[in-house]
Amino acid sequence: MSVIMNYFGRMSVWMLITAIIYIIIRKIYFAKSGKKPDITKEICTMLLAACAVGILSETVFPRIALGFAGGFRIQLNFTSGLVLGYENGDFFRFVSQGVERSINLVPFKTVMQFFSAEDARFSQEVWNVKRIINLFGNVFLFVPLGFLLPMAYKKAEKFSKMFLIGSAYVLFIEITQYFIYRATDIDDYILNMFGIVMGFSAYKLMKKRLPAE
């Protein structure tokens, strides 16, 4: 459980930063334009942005390390093992030994592997957590996006629009992961989109049950 809590802990920091930046930008916008904000829409849009950035923080964003001993150094550590940095006037890049790009275009191949095999590199506890994250995490982390998207943008109330926007976001993650030496996997796309559709379905059910304005 500590591994899962670490994920949410890191995500919550990025989500909070995103929410604060969003509030500041929108306050400036409404102060200059003189327009009155739609509070419900603004809250939904802020939460949508925070969730989207939170997911990116665990799928695309690197960990940033700064150093000043012996000169300025900045280092971007991607969870895949790719490291980019700058030190004393020189840029550097290296990839940890044994780390390779991978692409899977066979639906449910990776999901089946997670549940039909073990990995000697990990303990049983860690491997079980990876299974949970791979299946349930890839679904439920994306449910809020499907729910909040049509609340923030009325055009996304159409399934086709919602699906197109959701697909663009998920594909951005998967394609970017190839270039940072992580796995680009059709299974991740399927699971992520399933989560988004679940959230969209929950929104539609809620709207159907609420009294019409």
Distance CA 152, CA 213 (A): 17
* Per-residue pLDDT at 124: 61
pTM here? 0.89
* Per-residue pLDDT at 103: 94
* Per-residue pLDDT at 135: 82
Distance CA 173, CA 195 (A): 15
Q: Which own/partner pairs from 163-168 qualify as long-range (CB within 8 Å, at least 24 positions apart)?
A: 163/193, 163/196, 163/197, 166/142, 166/192, 166/193, 166/196, 166/197, 167/193
pLDDT, block means (10 residues), the chain with 213 residues: 73 96 97 94 97 96 89 92 93 91 92 71 65 84 96 95 97 96 95 97 92 59
Q: Hey, where are the domains in the chain?
A: 1-59, 62-99, 104-213
Beta strands in 10-60 (DSSP E): none
* Per-residue pLDDT at 211: 67
Which one-letter DSSP state was computed for residue 121? T
Which one-letter DSSP state was computed for residue 141? T
Which one-letter DSSP state was computed for residue 210? S
* Per-residue pLDDT at 3: 61
Distance CA 40, CA 168 (A): 25
* Per-residue pLDDT at 75: 96
Q: Which own/partner pairs from 167-173 qualify as long-range (CB within 8 Å, at least 24 positions apart)?
A: 167/193, 169/52, 169/145, 170/142, 170/196, 173/55, 173/56, 173/59, 173/60
Convert the pLDDT of each residue in 25-49 to its tens digit: 999 999 999 999 999 999 999 999 9
